[in-house]
Structure 1
Amino acid sequence: MPEPTGVIHDIGYQRYTGPRLGRRHVFGALYLHGLRTVFGLGRSAKAKIFPWLVVGIVTVVAAGLAAVRSQLGEVVMTYAQFADAMSWLVIFFVAVAAPELVSRDLRSGVLPLYFSRPLPRDDYALAKLLSLVSALWLLLGGPQLVMFLAAAFTTSDGLRGTWNELLDLLPGLLYAGLWAVVFAAIGLLVASLTGKRAFAAGGIVAVFLMTTPIVGVLSILPSHAVNELAFLASPSTLVGGVGTWALGDLLVPEGQGGGMPIGSFGPVYAIVAVLLVTACTALLLLRYRKVAAR
């Protein structure tokens, strides 16, 4: 009988004896990684082109508005109106960013590696969602801060003028947060359904843009109530309806029209927005529970 010829070599592997930071730190690391991914940080130059092009556009627009106000003394656009005006850019930003956050992981099959660590499936989805919400809020809120600084330094009323300007800024930042939450919840849910980024991007754009004609059809029907509720049919007009109800003159100053004709249905728009975000988040969590179970 031949003798065994196998040899065991000690190549120096040791057990990890350092600190184990746990679930909270894993969640935070995944959130920061997602936020960096959205803006292409730590990735190739090609990955940085689109997100920073959008950042450049919204910043230039904000700087232009600030320059006009400082030179002519006219408020061309309020902080909340700025978020409305940039919403079309936000749609395409979400269409690129959301697939980068989740579709790449689905396609490359790395989810079992994520879930093999102390990272619950819900935490993965929520960290990605929070990353996208934060990125969109920074995209809309950063330029508003540029507008505020220009207005604060050129005001003729001193500290009182700066304080009043701050009171105008804060609702604008909250409104930007509403845009961010609604768009991120819808966009990430759609992107999580496929590992192909092109399909995910197309689906996101379709959800936002193809619902707009429905609003147009409903708004011309003979029923007055249906006309006022028509804006519920599209995410963009839904957010605009909430803004019209909640912000009033801060969204549309006197002399510039009355905003969206939603009548007395403002609370309905707010409730629908909350339900929409809640439903999208719940479906996103359910999606990843099924993915992880495979």
Structure 2
Amino acid sequence: MAATAPGPAASTAPDVIHNIGYRKYTGPRLGRGYARISLFSQSLRGAYGLGRSAKSKVLPMILLAAMCAPALIMVAVAVFTHMTKLPVEYTRYAIIMQAVITLFVASQAPQSVSRDLRFKTTPLYFSRPIERIDYVAAKYAALTVALFLLTAVPLLILYIGALLAKLSFTTQTAGFAKGLVSVTLLSLLFAGIGLVIASVTPRRGFGVAAIIATFVITYAAVSSVQAVADSQEKFHVIGWLGVFSPISLIDGFQSWFLGATSAFPHASGPPDALAGLVYLLVILALIGGSFGLLMRRYRKVGLS
């Protein structure tokens, strides 16, 4: 059989560019400021489970209710029994409810930053017109505001109840203002410490346990040593020991600068003006140091 000659090579079709409808974005570019505000608002909403699943709302709402319930009971008692003053000072309320505040920080600080680290979504933030300082500032501000709402709402309930009970307007307003100053510092301090600990690990469970341990162990240690000092009648030492625990730092600050009753043994508080100044400086150093550590942490977060 004769071999057939190969035919001519098949002609190659020319390349074709298909228009699939992509268009250049011509709308407004909202920029870095809008991104920063959006991150703040979303983080604040997330702290209370808003915009998330129903399960995410359960714990923060329970903790908010737990913070407000004692205030409502105190108001009811003050109104119906015609008390001449509230059962608890405004500045003392957060100290008494410190366990609830600690649980809120422990649950929401890891939710705010640990998930981004675990699922490696931080590079997505930095691929937008947003800097690391914007991310840190937005997260810090969001948790601080969430804590402020948690601690200030019960004070507002007490204040309104006191006015309904026809207590002194001047006295109650001054006490309420002092309480707001106290919980503002508390919110800044607790948010900073909680975020620093949570940013170390992408595991949310580890972050929760570490935050609870930090707040509980330091307070228990300070209270125990203060009790020992009290039993040995070394009262001047008691006031200095408060600088080693976040909640006792707030207690000592407000007892010296705001005239609040201290929870220290014998309500001693800082022993002198120098100690009071040290309390304030330590609080400010911890707040500033927390922000600095967060900035350092997120400089080391890779972009891949």
2:59 match: 50
2:271 match: 263
Q: Partner of 2:61: helix, strand, or coil?
A: helix
Cα distance in 2, alignment partners of residues 121 and 287 from structure 1: 10
Give the AA of the match of 2:48: F
Give the AA of the match of 2:153: G
The number of aligned residues is 286
Cα distance in 1, alignment partners of residues 16 and 143 from structure 2: 52
Note the C-alpha offset of 1:224.
5.6
Cα distance in 2, alignment partners of residues 31 and 107 from structure 1: 20
2:298 match: 288
Q: Partner of 1:211: helix, strand, or coil?
A: helix
Instruction: In structure 1, list runs of 5 or more residues that go unmatched.
Output: none
Deviations 1:136-188 (A, max 9, x none): 000010111111112112316xxxx3343222211111111111111000000
RMSD over equivalenced CA pairs, Å? 2.1
Give the AA of the match of 1:52: M
Are 1:119 and 2:130 matched, yes or no?
Answer: yes
Superposed, 1:1-294 pairs within 5 Å as 3-4=12-13, 7-72=16-81, 73=83, 74-155=85-166, 161-216=168-223, 218-219=225-226, 220=228, 225-248=236-259, 251-252=260-261, 259-264=267-272, 265-292=275-302
Cα distance in 2, alignment partners of residues 217 and 169 from structure 1: 31
Q: Partner of 1:192: helix, strand, or coil?
A: helix
Q: Percent identity?
A: 35
Cα distance in 2, alignment partners of residues 200 and 174 from structure 1: 28
Select the structure of larger CA radius of gyration: 2
Cα distance in 2, alignment partners of residues 293 and 164 from structure 1: 54
Note the C-alpha offset of 1:57.
1.1
TM-score under structure 1 length normalisation:
0.91
Structure 1 runs, 4 residues or longer, greater than 6 Å off: none
Give the AA of the match of 1:229: W
TM-score under structure 2 length normalisation:
0.88
Give the AA of the match of 1:285: M
Cα distance in 2, alignment partners of residues 4 and 241 from structure 1: 83
Note the C-alpha offset of 1:292.
4.1
Cα distance in 2, alignment partners of residues 174 and 115 from structure 1: 34
Deviations 1:237-292 (A, max 9, x none): 111111111111xx229xx9863432111111111111111111100111011114
Instruction: In structure 2, list runs of 5 or more residues that go unmatched.
Output: 1-8
